[in-house]
A and B are shown apart, each in its own frame.
Chain A
Amino acid sequence: MTTAAAMIEVSDVWKAFGALQVLKGITLEVPRGSAVALIGPSGSGKSTLLRCINLLEVPERGRVRVGEHAIDCEHERLPADRELAAFRARTGMVFQLFNLFPHMTALENVSAGPRYVKKASPLAAKEQAMTLLDKVGLSDKAHVYPSHLSGGQRQRVAIARALAMNPEVILFDEVTSALDPELVGEVLDVIRTLAEEGMTMVLVTHEMAFAHEVATTVAFMSDGAIVEIGGPQQVLGEPNNARTQAFLARFHSFQRSFAGGS
């Protein structure tokens, strides 16, 4: 078994919202240092799966393990607030709409986790936050509020905020979907660097080219299940499943129309 090497292990995870069964027994292993891209049509459960990995959504059934910590979810019992918080503290997440704290500067956003969750000293938290802002190329914006940052800058602050907790993995939930096209590149650059440094990550994305370039594994989801999983070349280039083919055909026809038009 590869379980010993896997950094994230999702076993038979089920999740429903009311009558809608969103995840139907998902099993997924993410090896340490790898990047898994989740692709698929909207409503297929990609984001819900991501939110189940850090327990922002608690599965009604199944097991989620990140690093050495696992949580078994049973229908009857919700894990305690303390348990969930400790689990999430080790799992970074970056959101489509940034979700920066608007009443805090970039620096305060990044240092909030270490200060309030890890109880780091204000000075230590500040120094670490400056280092991380520098890493994402925003040290000159440390004292600026989110409302005065561009979308790309906000998302880079959000990545720094996730990194500040020294997470074992980072989850990216369509992090470039809300960005103007010219701002996508600067965010992808940061993620690419993290991947090269060996950060374990799971990305929900519609950027097929980026998934192809950065992901070590691509999983195609449809209707609450992973229907095809493999290397990016195989899943994106020569998909076996009919639904994967149909989904990717839309992207390919876009690319063809671009190529034809230019």
Chain B
Amino acid sequence: MTGVTYSWDFSFLWIYRWLLLKGLGFTLLYTIGSILLGLLVGLLVGLLRLSRSWLVNLPLIAYIEAFRCTPLLVQIIWFYYAFPVLVGIDIPAAIAGMLVLTLYTGAFYAEIFRGGVISIERGQWDAAKAIGMRHAQVLHRVILPQAIKRMIPPFINQSIIQLKNTSLVSTIAVGDLLYQGQLITSATYRPLETYTTVACIYFVILFPMTLGAQVVERRLQRSD
């Protein structure tokens, strides 16, 4: 019955505050980095996915579905351990982690982007073309300004999930928040306090963001 009488003590974590902070720094770096790079990938892939050519679409669909339909954890491990064997180059864990997170979230962003564009009524294309706009102009002046509004809520959701996703890079020894938690645990044998603290840090960052997302979503709805 020792579990019941477990005496909680968080005080030892104070010694490790800089380690946790460093971990948090890595987590934020991986989140922001993979969101920005993923946006680039998603924008490019999403735009190309609008093409009518099968030759263009087929490899892109393969990429998107490969990353959406396999677990991120498996992707990280595969890229770190299996991919180097295939191509014969060692990829440092830090780069493998960022690469996979980018490709993973990029696949989701691509679909958000494409979904936003194709959700705009056909008539908008007709009207813009009828006054002589070229394809790129239609996208720039008419479709994207409307589509971006519809993309923002799913984009925010995906990005919030992405912050949690970064914790999986700890499995290949990238020093993110969870990884530092593991280090602290193995040094102190106090997983309860450590992981509770780690969980709280994630929560403290993400909860205000989800509240913010709701505000943005409501404001977007009102402006329709």
Q: How far apart sit A97 and B122, CA to CA, in the bound complex (Å)?
A: 11
B126 touches A89 (CB 8 A): no
Among the 9-residue stretches A7-15, A67-75, A78-86, A207-215, the one with 4 or more Cβ atoms under 8 Å from chain B is: A78-86
Among the 9-residue stretches A100-108, A218-226, A229-237, the one with 4 or more Cβ atoms under 8 Å from chain B is: A100-108
Contacts of A187 in B (CB 8 A): none
Partner of A54, one of B121, B130, B141, B145: B130
B131 touches A117 (CB 8 A): yes
Kindly name the residue among A54, A84, A112 whose own CB sees the greatest number of chain B CB atoms within 10 A.
A112
Contacts of B141 in A (CB 8 A): 112, 116
A101 touches B131 (CB 8 A): no
Contacts of B137 in A (CB 8 A): 116-117
Partner of B127, one of A82, A95, A118, A165: A95
Q: How far apart sit A116 and B133, CA to CA, in the bound complex (Å)?
A: 7
A151 at interface by CB-CB < 8 Å: no
A103 touches B131 (CB 8 A): no
Interface residue ranges of B113-138 to A (CB < 8 Å): 121, 123-124, 126-135, 137
Q: How far apart sit A89 and B129, CA to CA, in the bound complex (Å)?
A: 8
Tell me the count of chain B residues lying within 8 A, CB to CB, of chain A: 19
Interface residue ranges of A50-96 to B (CB < 8 Å): 54, 56, 81-82, 84-86, 88-93, 95
A97 touches B123 (CB 8 A): yes
B133 touches A93 (CB 8 A): no
**Shortest Cβ distance from residue B153 to the other chain A in the assembled complex, whole angstroms:** 17
Partner of A162, one of B123, B124, B128, B130: B130
**Shortest Cβ distance from residue A120 to the other chain B in the assembled complex, whole angstroms:** 12
**Shortest Cβ distance from residue B36 to the other chain A in the assembled complex, whole angstroms:** 26
Interface string of A23-38 (1 = CB under 8 A from B): 0000000000000000
Q: How far apart sit A241 and B121, CA to CA, in the bound complex (Å)?
A: 38
Q: How far apart sit A56 and B137, CA to CA, in the bound complex (Å)?
A: 16
Q: How far apart sit A173 and B129, CA to CA, in the bound complex (Å)?
A: 15
Whether A88 touches B135, Cβ cut-off 8 Å, given contacts A56-B126, A95-B126, A112-B141, is: no
Q: How far apart sit A82 and B142, CA to CA, in the bound complex (Å)?
A: 18
B165 at interface by CB-CB < 8 Å: no
A99 at interface by CB-CB < 8 Å: yes
B197 at interface by CB-CB < 8 Å: no
Whether A161 touches B131, Cβ cut-off 8 Å, given contacts A101-B142, A112-B141, is: yes
Contacts of A85 in B (CB 8 A): 129, 132-134
B146 at interface by CB-CB < 8 Å: yes
